[in-house]
Amino acid sequence: MISNIIKTEWLKLKHYKAFWVLLSVTAISYPGINGIAYYAFMDSIDAKSQSSQLVKMLLGNPFAFPQSLHTTAYLSSFFTFIPAIVVIMLITNEYLFKTHRQNIIDGWKKNNFIWGKFICVLLVTLIVTLFYLAVAFIIGSLATKELEGVNIFEKAHYIGLFSLQVFCQLSIAFLLGLLIRKAFIAYGIYIFYSFILENILSGFFRLKSKKWGIDYGHYLPFEISDRLIPLPPSIGKFNAADNQLAIAAINIHVVYTLALTAFVWLLSFYIFKKRDL
Amino acid sequence: MPVLEINAISKSYGKIKALDAVSFSIPQGSVFGLLGPNGSGKTTMLSIILDVLQADEGGYKWFGQTPSYQHRKKIGSLLETPNLYHYLTAVQNLRITQSISGRGNEADIHAVLEKVNLHERKNSRFSTYSLGMKQRLAIAAALLGNPAVLVLDEPTNGLDPVGIAEIRNLIKGLSEHGHTVIMASHLLDEVEKVCDHVAILKRGKLIASGAVESVLSAEDCIVVNASDQVLLEGCINGYPGLIRMNRTAEGIECYFEKGTSSAEKINLFCHEKGLVLSQLVPKKKRLEEKFFELTAE
């Protein structure tokens, strides 16, 4: 059955130009943001001024191996909103064309339909992770003066953390599309919440954390997975204590992220099963 | 064994009762028309039997069995509007139908496109099609793999007169080959031409169902006329077994219990009363007439 679902979803995606165009935009955005940051950094440390030399001494080179996999994961994670458009489009288009009904009428179980979308989100995550990996290795190679003796895979766990973060956030985007059914409204809410509201809530909870003894902001939907990739150590050393705490909390946030992702998909299966189409 | 048995299905949208304990069954090999004015519950009923909507109460059986996705795979369906991917061509869309339902193969895809006269535009995107072409592609999807049962909701929507005639002939052809066709339609003339069984819904309630002949002919009707209609009315009023009569432009329609009327006896009765009839015609009621009669407020 799963092979039939994969085949059918591929038939839907194969000739879908908007899907491939948006993935191409993602493909451009990742080297774009990382490249700009890399060249800006290189320019700043290449200058002969005292401050440039101070930056170089303090930061080292966060783009060189083995830090490259961490730094590019951190920078790339700001651009998950582009593949989120793809995911929202994939589900809201089914509502727009009413093909979600036709798929069921033609003989799929309701679960099959959601499994199809689960596979699509997984595929987008895989593609995005490949873009990130390509950028990390290209920039890492450019920034590392001497590869000998450097374990370029020392930070390889960030590959898994990045893909988990992307999958979790794209899953939330999918749930929004499934619930709201209209692409622009779903995407508007996604952007407003992830970029504005959650930051406001996060700030609020941070302020209250001393009084309450706990920072509930760490458990907000996007913050849960954002905390999988803390600031790279060379940059985070400006607030070393917080950075150490953030790095120490990665493991527990892996558990939270997995739990949230599982909840999002279970809810998606439940909603689609119970809702009239 | 009926292809589909519907048992006391009810469905509400908030306070509106879209279907109210509707029951009927659809015999194998029949062309079954589901009729009713707008909002009578036709599409809701078809959506329930295709598992797109869930009934609040009651149930249904396909082929005498509890319905499952395996049954839907065997049924070619067109519900409400053509639900296809706008960015894909006819062939690409039908490949998706084929992949999900398992009905037909690549050769069948081209064969059904020939059947609905879309083969020349098979590689055009769905979004570039006219309404009629979209409808024909949706019918092609329903026909793919030659399913034994077809569920067609307003299949002639958006089609020109030639297209309507083609679909009529297609449905007749399917019926001749033993297929069961369940269709909802507003076009009573079309339904009368192709359907052998009907169910009529009004505000979610079933008001008639069965073979077209039995639904249409709950009463016998004979139209009589004479040069003096007033005298004729007085005369025929005394005819034994007459239920009611109705004066029309054609003459006087006389209604009797089903199977009790006799043109010969009426003629003799009037002759004995000294009246010469200028017209004596048994009238077969048309579906449209019956529909308006049953669905009138």
Say how far apart CA B24 and CA B7 lie, in whole Å: 7
Collect all residues of chain B within an 8 Å Cβ-Cβ radius of residue A106. Answer: 72-73, 77, 97, 100-101, 141
Are A5 and A13 contacting, i.e. CB atoms less than 8 angstroms apart?
A: no
With CB atoms and an 8 Å threshold, state whether B100 touches A277: no
pLDDT in tens, A44-79: 777 667 766 766 666 678 888 888 999 999 999 999
The domain tally of chain A equals: 1
Q: What percent of chain B has pLDDT over 90?
A: 48
Q: pLDDT-based confidence at B51, cuts 50/70/90?
A: very high
Residue B281 pLDDT greater than 90, yes or no? no
Distance between A93 CA and the closest CA of chain B, angstroms = 9
Q: In chain A, which residues have pLDDT < 50? A: none
- pLDDT score, position B152: 93
**Residue to test with chain B: of A16, A105, A275, A277, most B Cβ within 10 A:** A105
> Which residue of chain A has the CA closest to B151?
A105
Residue A111 contacts B, CB cutoff 8 Å: no
Two tokens, residue B105: 């193969």
Q: Where are the domains of chain B?
A: 4-215, 218-295
What are the phi and psi torsion angles at B36 (to 5°)?
160, 155
pLDDT in tens, B180-195: 999 998 777 778 788 8
With CB atoms and an 8 Å threshold, state whether A15 touches B51: no
- pLDDT score, position B61: 95
- pLDDT score, position A19: 92
- pLDDT score, position B150: 94
The answer regarding whether domain B4-215 maps to CATH 3.30.1280.10 reads no
Two tokens, residue B180: 């069961």
Nearest beta carbon to residue A97 from set B51, B84, B100: B84
Collect all residues of chain B within an 8 Å Cβ-Cβ radius of residue A17. Answer: 87
* Residue B10 DSSP SS3: strand
List, as one string, the DSSP characters of B224-240: EE-S-HHHHHHHHTTST
Pairing of strands B149-153, B16-26: unpaired
Nearest beta carbon to residue A105 from set B50, B54, B92: B50
Mean pLDDT of B274-293: 80
pLDDT in tens, B129-140: 988 889 999 999
Residue B212 pLDDT greater than 70, yes or no? yes
For residue B40, the 8-state DSSP code is: S
Are A47 and A151 contacting, i.e. CB atoms less than 8 angstroms apart?
A: no
- pLDDT, mean over chain B: 89
Q: Which of A48-62, B15-29, B110-124 bottoms out in mean pLDDT, i.e. has the lowest? A: A48-62
With CB atoms and an 8 Å threshold, state whether B52 touches A105: yes
The CATH-assigned architecture of domain B218-295 is 2-Layer Sandwich (3.30)
What pTM was estimated for this model as a whole?
A: 0.85
Residue B285 pLDDT greater than 70, yes or no? no
Collect all residues of chain A within an 8 Å Cβ-Cβ radius of residue B95. Answer: 11
> Which residue of chain B has the CA closest to A100?
B83
The residue ranking higher by pLDDT, A240 or B251, is B251
Question: What is the separation of C-alpha A277 from the centre of its chain, rounded to a whole number of angstroms?
Answer: 30
Question: What is the separation of C-alpha A261 from the centre of its chain, rounded to a whole number of angstroms?
Answer: 13
- pLDDT score, position A55: 66
Two tokens, residue B156: 């002639």
- pLDDT score, position A99: 96
* Residue A104 DSSP SS3: helix
Are A187 and A88 contacting, i.e. CB atoms less than 8 angstroms apart?
A: yes
Taking one residue from A and the other from B, the number of pairs with CB-CB distance under 8 angstroms is: 75
- pLDDT score, position B297: 65
Nearest to residue A271, comparing CAs of A181, A141, A188? A181
Residue A273 contacts B, CB cutoff 8 Å: no
Distance between B135 CA and the closest CA of chain A, angstroms = 14
- pLDDT score, position A238: 66
- pLDDT score, position A59: 67
What are the phi and psi torsion angles at B208 (to 5°)?
-165, 145
> Which residues touch A60 (CB under 8 Å, ≥6 apart)?
A67, A234
With CB atoms and an 8 Å threshold, state whether B87 touches A98: no
For residue A85, the enclosing domain spans 2-274
- pLDDT score, position B255: 86
Nearest to residue B291, comparing CAs of B107, B35, B106? B35
Say how far apart CA B157 and CA B275 lie, in whole Å: 51
Residue A108 contacts B, CB cutoff 8 Å: yes
Q: pLDDT-based confidence at B248, cuts 50/70/90?
A: confident
